[in-house]
Each structure stands twice: as structure tokens, then as C-alpha cells.
Amino acid sequence: MSEFDLVLPTAVDVREVGMRDGLQLEDPVPLAGKLAMLEALVATGVRRIEVTSFVSPKAVPALADADEVAAQLHRFDGVHFSALVANPRGAQRAVDAGIAHLEYVVSASDSHSRANAGRSTADAVGAIGEIAALASGAGGSLEVIVATAWDCPFDGRTPVARTVDVTRAAVTAGADALCLGDTIGTTTPVRVVQLLDAVRRACPGTPLGVHFHDTRGTGQANALVALQAGVTQLDASVGGLGGCPFAPGASGNIATEELVYWLADAGVGTGIDLDAVLTAAAATERAVGHALPSSLYRAGGPNAPRGPFGTRDGMQP
């Protein structure tokens, strides 16, 4: 090993969030289109999929069919399906629909918390125990995703101590795992490592993942340094779709195919087939009806299908 070799884990657990984060800003996609997208994603080999969100259909009309999507999950074997919830009511809906593995979002900044969930950060933290009990009682688990962990579109930079306080309170209240969200895609590699170190010190032994948006082109660099810092759980969205309805300027997540591409080249296992992800990106593009932001999808892999809006091997559609 030379002094310039990257030190990376041998395997990474990628959670596909295109069905939820990827679609929440889109015009509602018919159930048939979502199921075609889901079938293609399952075929990639990914083993964790955040499949929908049980939130107000008025607030997020694109995910108003959460119950209908959940009713179709019995068709797919070997996949850990989860759903995002915004309050205990949504958690109960998810459990009743048969999804017991939950992600609950708590914004580290008060302004985003009020815009996203209609309550303060403290009030959002106060609901963690009830949601954890619902998930546990149904044989599931609760992961608390800390939104605006680095920056808020309203309040500016989020103090590290504030994010750490939220993560510590979440674990105390019963969270099984944590995830740090760069909601508006503003953080940088140095700040990623700083916050990861602080959270690990506050919550030793708690599984910790990251959720990066690529708004300013730093998402994959942030993913790389997170892996170098020992994180092995990453969120990504097929085609790079995504964004927060309640965070002005937020754009897509890091693209699953781009993440898998460089991880495979580095010898890091994901269990995900790159060509199959590109096929899933084509299905996603058909479902949403517009071009995807992923650079790799537009460029095309060696066996990449050409979607109706995508490019391949330098050719224009």
C-alpha cells in the first residue's frame, strides 16, 4: 500500500430512495409507473428501498398513494422496505399498511422544522419515543433522519452542537439508527468529517448513515470522505432525482448509478449491478416524463439502455 492509497470499506450498504425522495417533488406518477420503476430497482440487487412516505397527501400529493404502493410489496422477496413518516399518525398508517421499518425526519433547525412538519425541533424530538414504540411493537425499527444537519435554507449554517443534541436525544428516546441529511446540498468534505466525528462521540455504537444531495456538485465527494471516515450506509436515488418540497433550492440526491460506478471501480462491494441501475433509470425517466439529472445516465454505460430523454455514447436522442 502506498501513502496515496484510499482506505475504503470492503462493502457498502446502499439504500435506494428514488421511490420516495426521488418522486416527492414530481407530478404524481400513476401506480403502474411506480411499480414498473420498483420492479426495475429490485432487479438491480439493491436490498434496501425507501419505498414511499406516509405524510399528508395535500402536502406531498406525489406520494398520496402510499397505501396502494405498500399493498404491492408482497410481490418482492428479499428486500428491506421502509417508509418515511413525519409524525405518529403517519407511523401508525405505515404500520397498518404493513411497513414496520420507519424513517422519521427531525430537522435540526427550527425554521425548517416548522416549514417541513409544522412544529419546532423540540416538539419533533418529543414524538420519537411514540414512533419508536409503534415500530418496535410491529416488529420493525426506527431510524431518525436529521434533516438540515449541516445547513438550513432559512437559518443558515446549523451549529454542530445543535445537530449533536438532536442525535443524542433521538437515541435516548429509542431510535435504532441515525442518518445525517444534507438537505440543501451545501456541505463539503471537511464539514462532513467534522460532524460525523462529533455525532459518533455523542452516540457511540449507534448505526450511522448519510444522505447527500448534489445541489452544488459535492455529493459524491462527500460520500467518498464519509466512507473514508468509516460510514458504510449511504442513501442514493436512481437517476439523481430528489429534493425537499419545504427547502427552497434543494435539488436531487446523489445518483445511485454514479455511486455504484465509482465504488465498483474501487473494489467496494454493493451487491448492485450497474447496468441494471441504468435500466432502472430508463424506467424512472419514462415514469416521470422528463430527463434525469444523472451525468452517468446521460453519458451511458457500456450496456446502458437509451431512455426517451437520455443520451448514450455521446449520441443525442
Question: Which run of H or of E encompasses 96?
Answer: helix 88-96
Under 8 Å between Cβ of 237 and 18: yes
Q: Which cell numbers in the block locate residue 127?
A: 414524538
Cα separation, 3 vs 101, whole angstroms: 42
More confident residue, 153 or 67: 67
pLDDT tens for residues 71-114? 999 999 999 999 999 999 999 999 999 999 999 999 999 998 99
Under 8 Å between Cβ of 33 and 286: yes
Phi-psi domain of 158 (left: phi exceeds 0; alpha: psi -120 through 50; beta: other)? beta
Q: What is the pLDDT of residue 6?
A: 82
Q: What is the pLDDT of residue 307?
A: 60
Cα separation, 221 vs 211, whole angstroms: 13
Per-residue confidence band for 315, with pLDDT thresholds at 50, 70 and 90: very low
Tell me whether residue 244 is one of the annotated catalytic residues.
yes
Q: Percent of the chain at pLDDT above 70?
A: 91
DSSP per residue, 153-189:
TTTEEPPHHHHHHHHHHHHHHT-SEEEEEETTS---H
Q: Which cell numbers in the block locate residue 240?
A: 439523481
Per-residue confidence band for 317, with pLDDT thresholds at 50, 70 and 90: very low
pLDDT at 314 over 50: no
Q: How many helices (H) and strands (E) does the chain have?
A: 12, 10
Q: Strand 151-152 to strand 208-212: parallel, antiparallel, or no bridges (unpaired)? A: unpaired
Q: Which cell numbers in the block locate residue 191?
A: 464539514
Return the minimum-mean-pLDDT range out of 64-68, 97-101, 200-204, 239-243: 239-243
Longest Cα separation, the chain: 55
More confident residue, 298 or 107: 107
| CA distances in angstroms from 303 to 44, 275, 276, listed in the order given | 14, 6, 9
Specify the amino acid at residue 9: P
Mean pLDDT of 275-282: 96
How many other CB atoms are there within 10 angstroms of residue 115's CB atom? 18
- Homologous superfamily of 13-299 in CATH? Aldolase class I (3.20.20.70)
The most confident of 146-150, 214-218, 294-298, by mean pLDDT: 146-150
Closest to 68 (Cα-Cα) out of 90, 111, 25, 97? 97
SS3 295: helix
Phi-psi domain of 185 (left: phi exceeds 0; alpha: psi -120 through 50; beta: other)? left
pTM of the model: 0.92
Q: Which cell numbers in the block locate residue 250?
A: 434543494
